[in-house]
């Protein structure tokens, strides 16, 4: 096996915890007309765990990039037979680069997303809590108020992302008319750094008008790796056990270029072997600068 100093990392993986005190994060199909359900997965023991779908997380990251000033690829509606499509220009648009695309309307053009996302899943079960509400428009109009209920949950949520660093700014979708439009190293640094900022400030717009909640990471276990493997995905739990997380680091040591554990102390307190959250994300950005600088 080659020395780690001679190999180049190919992936960034981050498993994270978010704390949600009172929320209805991701809507599901309603079982009744007057109940707004949240998405849940049922375990073998019939325990129901609320979750935010990977699709919703990807949309939240994309929206945050746009909020931060990045120009997004224009979406063209489908024609009935074909689904909607972006402009399919990853050289120009960060979302086409990181989130991929497919356009089958005129010719088959696609880019598989370098960003892999796990659903943000609660680590505690849904207990049947409901928020009771009424539609004030019905009251003001003289009619009977529209009574409805919304499922709510409180707990710790866990999610994982993996970004294929060797595919950012290059590869499928970048080659047009026999010309390879691979981005410069600085452009790659800028895009991945922006993505890290959007992830650090993860914010979903769904149901936030009545249930404002913060789903941004409050604990992260991150690694820049020589293999594409979300190694911390099943190792991070609550309460956080750093000794168990460190066993994962040991098990995959030969595949890890560097790693960092970081925590927001106001939420989870101090954890042995962890840094504060700001320093943790700065360290991750340092990995990215070092990787693309050395290409």
How high is the pLDDT of residue 166? 97
How high is the pLDDT of residue 183? 95
Contact 235, 219 (CB under 8 A): no
How high is the pLDDT of residue 1? 45
Contact 23, 211 (CB under 8 A): yes
pLDDT in tens, 145-161: 777 788 888 899 999 99
Which residue in 94, 129, 90 sits closest to 109, CA to CA?
Answer: 90
Six-digit token string for 113: 């997303």
DSSP-derived secondary structure letter, 167: G
3-state DSSP assignment of residue 219: strand
Mind listing the pLDDT tens digit of every residue in the chain (295 residues)?
A: 445 667 999 999 999 999 998 877 877 666 656 777 889 999 999 999 999 999 999 999 999 999 999 999 998 776 666 677 899 999 999 999 999 998 866 566 889 999 999 999 999 999 877 877 776 655 555 566 777 788 888 899 999 999 999 999 999 888 766 566 799 999 999 999 999 999 999 998 766 777 778 899 999 999 999 999 999 999 999 999 999 999 999 999 999 999 999 999 999 999 999 999 999 999 999 999 999 985 5
How high is the pLDDT of residue 106? 56
Q: What is the pTM of this model?
A: 0.90
At a CB cut-off of 8 Å and minimum separation 6, what does 31 contact? 37
Contact 236, 158 (CB under 8 A): yes
How high is the pLDDT of residue 242? 97
- Dist CA 67 CA 252 (whole Å): 36
3-state DSSP assignment of residue 75: coil
């Amino acid at each position: 096996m080659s020395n780690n100093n001679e190999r180049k990392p190919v992936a960034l993986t981050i498993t994270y915890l978010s704390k949600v005190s009172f929320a209805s994060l991701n809507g599901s199909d309603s079982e009744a007309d007057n109940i707004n359900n949240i998405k849940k997965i049922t375990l073998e023991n019939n325990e129901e765990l609320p979750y935010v779908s990977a699709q919703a997380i990807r949309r939240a990251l994309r929206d945050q990039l746009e909020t931060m000033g990045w120009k997004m690829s224009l979406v063209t509606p489908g024609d009935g037979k074909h689904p909607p499509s972006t402009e399919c220009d990853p050289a120009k648009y960060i979302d086409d680069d990181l989130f991929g695309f497919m356009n089958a309307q005129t010719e088959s053009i696609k880019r598989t997303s370098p960003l892999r996302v796990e659903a943000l899943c609660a680590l505690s079960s849904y207990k049947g809590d409901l928020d009771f509400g009424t539609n004030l428009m019905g009251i003001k109009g003289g009619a009977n108020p529209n009574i409805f209920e919304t499922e709510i949950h409180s707990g710790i949520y866990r999610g994982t992302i993996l970004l294929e660093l060797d595919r950012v700014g290059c590869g499928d979708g970048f080659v047009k008319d026999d010309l390879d439009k691979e981005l410069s190293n600085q452009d790659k640094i800028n895009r991945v750094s922006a993505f890290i900022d959007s992830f650090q400030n993860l914010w979903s717009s769904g149901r936030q008008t009545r249930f404002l909640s913060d789903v941004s990471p409050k604990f992260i276990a991150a690694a820049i790796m020589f293999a594409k493997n979300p190694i911390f995905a099943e190792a991070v739990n609550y309460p956080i056990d750093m000794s168990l997380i460190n066993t994962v680091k040991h098990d995959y040591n030969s595949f890890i270029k560097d790693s960092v554990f970081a925590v927001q102390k106001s939420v989870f307190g101090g954890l042995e072997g962890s840094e504060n959250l700001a320093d943790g994300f700065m360290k991750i950005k340092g990995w990215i600068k070092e990787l693309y600088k050395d290409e």
